[in-house]
Homo-oligomer: A and B are copies of this chain.
């Protein structure tokens, strides 16, 4: 299925699931929607925290149609699940946010780790949340973010169990995708980043770590949701964790040599 076909299915209410492994090869993105009043601070927050919040495209105010990562996609109904936030609390989960549209809203699309998963699979790395048809496991951590305006807090990470002999290769591959979170923020010891019980994911689906596997942690685009709980803005909208916007650009477009300096 091509991304524009998937988005039509989503808009028609015929696709409402998580998007890991969907539309293989095409970019996926996290969404944060804020009133213009908070947009400059949030953009600065993204600049200061590029690993969890790599900004792919900003839409609005005055528009809800993408121009860069997808051709005229309507951000009000092409994501399988949205969360509506008021004062740091989720007040609704919905597949259509037309009723919430105001012309002062700004839509931020942030890179997603699902975009590098095909590159991992192509190089022989098994991703079991995909083979098991699950959402990826995500966790709150104690990794501090650089604050900007009302936005501050700690990082959310996604975790994939990887065979120990392939962990370094997975780090090297994903380092080539800096706009979709890049290389892991941590490898191997959940307690070092404040995760006390690896068997219980804070978002998405938990997954077993099998003998010979090591848990590998990437910065996650759910981070802004953790930040919204603390920022307590009167109003915001995000995607639901694991249910992403799927764009028209191919992931290979985002691959670049990772050797700096």
Instruction: Please report A residues at the B interface, Cβ cutoff 8 Å.
Output: 119, 122-123, 164-165, 167-169, 171-176, 183-189, 192-193, 212, 214, 216, 255, 257-261
**Quick one: which of A169, A176, A185, A193 has the most chain B CB within 10 A?**
A169
Interchain CB contact under 8 A, A184 and B164: no
Residues on the B chain within 8 Å of A214, using CB: 187-189
Given A122-B261, A188-B188, A212-B192: A172 and B165 within 8 A (CB)? no
Which of A168, A216, A261 has the most chain B CB atoms closer than 10 A to its own CB? A168
| Nearest chain B CB to A164 CB, angstrom units | 5
5 example contacts (A-B, Cβ-Cβ < 8 A) are as follows A119-B261, A122-B261, A164-B188, A168-B171, A257-B259
Not counting A164-B187, A168-B171, a sample of 7 additional A-B residue pairs whose C-beta atoms are within 8 angstroms of each other reads: A167-B171, A168-B175, A171-B183, A187-B187, A187-B214, A188-B188, A192-B212
**What are the residues of chain B within 8 A of A171 when measuring CB–CB?**
167-169, 171-172, 175, 183, 187
Q: Judging by beta carbons under 8 Å apart, are A175 and B169 in contact?
A: yes
Q: Give the docked Cα–Cα distance between A223 and B165 (Å).
A: 18
Residues on B with beta carbons closer than 8 Å to the beta carbon of A259: 119, 173, 176, 255, 257-258
